[in-house]
Amino acid sequence: MPAVMQSGAVRRLVIKTFVDLGTEHSALWDLEETVSVDEGRVVARSYLLDRLFAMWLIEVGIIQF
C-alpha cells in the first residue's frame, strides 16, 4: 500500500478485514487504535479488536494483520 494513504482509509480497510475474519459488526465500537510516535512523528498505528490485531507501518507503507 502506498505510504500516502490517509488514516481513515486504513481504518476502513482494517475494519473490513476484521469483519471478513468474523468479527461481529456490533463489536466494531470496541476497536482500539493506538498511535506510535517517534521523535515527534507518527510512525505506526495499531488496531486491536477481540483477538485480531493489525499494524500500519506508515514509513514502510504496509499494513500487517
Say yes or no to pLDDT of 2 above 50: no
pLDDT-derived band at 4 (thresholds 50, 70, 90) equals low
pLDDT at 25: 79
pTM over 0.75: yes
pLDDT in tens, 30-50: 999 999 999 999 999 999 998
- The amino acid that residue 39 corresponds to is E
φ, ψ dihedrals at 26, nearest 5°: -65, -25
SS3 content of the chain, % helix, strand, coil (to 5): 30, 40, 30
User: What is the separation of C-alpha 4 from the centre of its chain, rounded to a whole number of angstroms?
Assistant: 15
Mean pLDDT in residue range 2-28: 85
pLDDT at 1: 44
